[in-house]
Structure 1
Amino acid sequence: MEKALASASLPFKLLLSCPSGLSPPQVSVAFDVAYDRLLHQDIELENSISEIWDQKVQDNKSLYNGTKFRYGGHNLLCGDGSNQDSHVCLHLGLTDYRTFMGTNLNPQWEKFLVPSEDDSIRCQHTSSPLGNGAIVETSDRKIIVLQRSTNVGEFPGHYVFPGGHPEPQEIGITSHQYVKDLTGSELINKKVSQEMFDSIIREVVEEIGVPASTLCNTVFLGISRRELNVRPTAFFSIKCSLESKEIQQLYLSAQDGYESTQLYAVSLSELENMTSKMPGCHQGGFALYKLMVESLKNT
């Protein structure tokens, strides 16, 4: 388990790589206001967040300012070197869609960045909501890939892995004040940690239509950050007990099938050929999965 180095030629950076995969007990969360976004000292830049959101709402009255978990870094513990003793603690705060639109998706997004080798410092002024993505392997050893609809806001027509975001509202978190009103921050941290795993199962079920009971062996692979807009995504590997042909049929009635136009079940080599048409963070997800495959070969 290691932090992976960035390359100037890649559209992504691997912030955290866990090649052997980490099970739920090996992934914890420190949820705290300390990991929220810091305001930028440039008042005009800060004001642009509201200006962008007001314009977006005027153009699209259906926009909703939902709360998201903000990625603020992590701690890595490797024990004696065995995978069973490895542990990651994710540092998460709160952010929202409005701030995401006004920082990460701001035409001036690079002005929010701080020159630093420390990623949490470099992105301290951005919303950086933590997304999630799943590399789902079928019982006939195929990987599931979706092609995004041409009607979506980001990367229309691109190939992606199923995914979305862990949701604070799913476990009753609406603000830090709400958490302060409860007793036992350790309980909250455990709930947020569980949501990291529950949410990716939920996204896979909603986007490809398979029953949750067919999904198992969910492991955390790491975090990839897209260099464009510095957007972070946590990736997981999930086994599905169904064959690819069965999944193709279930996909036709998937709850969130409107977000994509087609489902592909591909081999590892075929997937590699598709990565050039993936967003940067999903290319990073593929890199994390390849590291896991190589790790399994060496054991």
Structure 2
Amino acid sequence: MGRSSGTFVGTNLSPLWERFLVPSEDDSVLCQHTSNPLGNGAVVETNDNKILVLQRSDNVGEFPGHFVFPGGHPEPQEIGITSHQYNKELTESINTKVSQEMFDSIVREVVEEIGVPASSLSIPAFIGISRRNLNVRPAAFFFIKCGLDSKEVRQFYSSAQDGYESTQLYAVPMIEIENMTSRMPGCHRGGFALYKLMVDTRKIT
């Protein structure tokens, strides 16, 4: 199945999206007739230990008004992938670039949606894959530490390149996000669960 935005709208965003699913415990079988472009998201923690959450605009196509972590999706064209044609030599040589794009793309998304400079962000730490219950879209989640405090971040947000996608930036302690998760897409709730698991693991070690 193609992965174009048109296919995504026609399958995953269709009111009848569940009809495209094939009953299976295996995700690759379950979603074989849907377009599931891999999304990404980042739990960004400021240097005063606040987590950045955006409230999406009411004018966006997916989850208007919901709370989300900054994110989007990797861009295949950034590394020269322009079609779905299989070529063994090309596939083998491009694997490293694909892996790097996963990390580069989430930094771009944070910079574009929050407005902070890339130099203020740590190297992203991959924390896991989350998937929405609604339309079964997967998303790779990362943890990023920002060298700025929440006040400085708010100042940058006012001129963010993709600021139109959201109406407000929140910088909140971890405990307050629990009250926001009911208005998050499923994959972002999952991303927060992955972050909590990371934090708990650090406490143990």
TM-score interval, normalised by the smaller of the two chains: over 0.9
In structure 2, the partner of 1:83 is none
In structure 2, the partner of 1:159 is 67
In structure 2, the partner of 1:138 is 46
Q: Which amino acid aligns with 2:73?
A: H
Task: Please tell me whether residue 221 in structure 1 is matched to residue 123 in structure 2.
Answer: no
Residue 217 of structure 1 deviates from its aligned partner by: 3.5
For residues 40-189 of structure 1, the aligned pairs below 5 Å read: 95-177=3-85, 180=87, 183-189=89-95
Q: Which amino acid aligns with 2:176?
A: E
RMSD of equivalent CA atoms: 1.3
Distance of 1:97 and 1:184 partners within structure 2 = 24
Task: Please tell me whether residue 232 in structure 1 is matched to residue 145 in structure 2.
Answer: no
Residue 218 of structure 1 deviates from its aligned partner by: 1.1
Distance of 1:217 and 1:194 partners within structure 2 = 11
Task: Please tell me whether residue 298 in structure 1 is matched to residue 204 in structure 2.
Answer: yes
Distance of 2:90 and 2:8 partners within structure 1 = 29
- Gap runs ≥5 in structure 1: 1-36, 38-93
Which SS does the other structure have where 2:3 is aligned?
strand
Distance of 1:101 and 1:185 partners within structure 2 = 27
Distance of 1:236 and 1:137 partners within structure 2 = 11
Residue 183 of structure 1 deviates from its aligned partner by: 4.6
TM-score normalised by length of structure 1: 0.66
Q: Which amino acid aligns with 1:186?
A: E
Q: Which amino acid aligns with 2:188?
A: H
Cα distance per residue 1:149-206 (max 9 Å; x no partner): 11111111111000001011111110134x63x9553321111111000000000000
Distance of 1:254 and 1:161 partners within structure 2 = 15
Cα distance per residue 1:124-158 (max 9 Å; x no partner): 11101111000001011110000001111111111
Distance of 1:102 and 1:130 partners within structure 2 = 17
Distance of 1:112 and 1:95 partners within structure 2 = 15
Distance of 1:132 and 1:273 partners within structure 2 = 22
Q: Which amino acid aligns with 2:149?
A: E
Considering fraction of residues, name the structure with more strand: 1
Distance of 2:199 and 2:123 partners within structure 1 = 15
In structure 2, the partner of 1:44 is none
Residue 221 of structure 1 deviates from its aligned partner by: 1.0
Larger Rg computed on CA atoms: 1
- Gap runs ≥5 in structure 2: none
In structure 2, the partner of 1:91 is none
Which SS does the other structure have where 2:9 is aligned?
helix
Q: Which amino acid aligns with 1:216?
A: S
Residue 266 of structure 1 deviates from its aligned partner by: 0.4
Distance of 2:162 and 2:84 partners within structure 1 = 30
In structure 2, the partner of 1:89 is none
Q: Which amino acid aligns with 2:182?
A: S
Task: Please tell me whether residue 190 in structure 1 is matched to residue 99 in structure 2.
Answer: no
Distance of 1:163 and 1:213 partners within structure 2 = 18
Residue 293 of structure 1 deviates from its aligned partner by: 0.6
Q: Which amino acid aligns with 1:136?
A: V
